[in-house]
Amino acid sequence: MAHLTRWIGGAGPAAIIALGLMVASPAIARAHEEGVLRPASRTLTAGDSLALAGFKFGKSAPLKIALVGLGGRFALGEVRTDSAGAFDIRVLVPEGAAAGSYRLVAIASDGDEVAGVDVAVTPPAAEPAGAHADGTHGAVDMPDAPSAEPLPLVTARSSLVTFGTVAAIVFALMLAVGLLRSARTSVSLG
């Protein structure tokens, strides 16, 4: 511990600022309450509605609900939490959502993802071969082929969280260098 206090004392204001940021980074990292999403089912059917409950969010917080996966990004609705930080809504699973794995997410007003749960989307129940909804028979339509177009990847982090993380890394590197120098000095003196 004596090496640490001697190193920090000799490092000057930069070390003190870095130490202050390190201590403050847990508060910076919790810019939002981490909520919980609870869908009525984790297997969703394209075109059906879904009951969705949320809790442990900030009080009266506006949230956007989205379905995100390789099949695309779908906005499902917006909600404001109650005074206890909870909500109950029904959302419609888009008919255009391809079958596959997705993540149901709650997004804060600044774009941060504050809750998420893994779900699977299944296609709607298939009609009997050759039958159409209008009662006629004929060839079954093939679904559109998947696109080779890349999906945009949106990061959900605020500048405060990014700054706090960078500051913590810089501080850790400065501390490591100081400890290595102190250890080298101790070894050469001994």
96, 46 Cβ separation under 8 angstroms = yes
Give me the phi and psi of 23, to 5 degrees please.
-70, -35
pLDDT, residue 132, reads 54
pLDDT, residue 16, reads 59
- What whole-number distance in Å separates Cα of residue 65 and Cα of residue 105? 6
CA dihedral (68, 69, 70, 76) positive or negative: negative
123, 99 Cβ separation under 8 angstroms = yes
Q: Does one domain contain both 151 and 166? A: no
102, 69 Cβ separation under 8 angstroms = yes
pLDDT, residue 73, reads 92
Q: Does one domain contain both 121 and 98? A: yes
pLDDT along the chain (190 residues), means of 10: 52 58 52 84 92 93 93 92 94 91 93 92 72 53 59 63 84 90 68
Q: Does one domain contain both 83 and 149? A: yes
Q: Does one domain contain both 142 and 179? A: no
- What whole-number distance in Å separates Cα of residue 6 and Cα of residue 1? 9
Q: Does one domain contain both 120 and 166? A: no
Orientation of helix 159-189 relative to helix 2-11, angle to 10°? 120
pLDDT, residue 18, reads 58
Q: Write the CATH number for 40.
A: 2.60.40.1930
Q: Does one domain contain both 86 and 25? A: no
- What whole-number distance in Å separates Cα of residue 49 and Cα of residue 92? 4
pLDDT, residue 27, reads 46
pLDDT, residue 71, reads 84
pLDDT, residue 165, reads 83
- Which residues form the domain of 184? 2-29+162-189
pLDDT, residue 106, reads 94
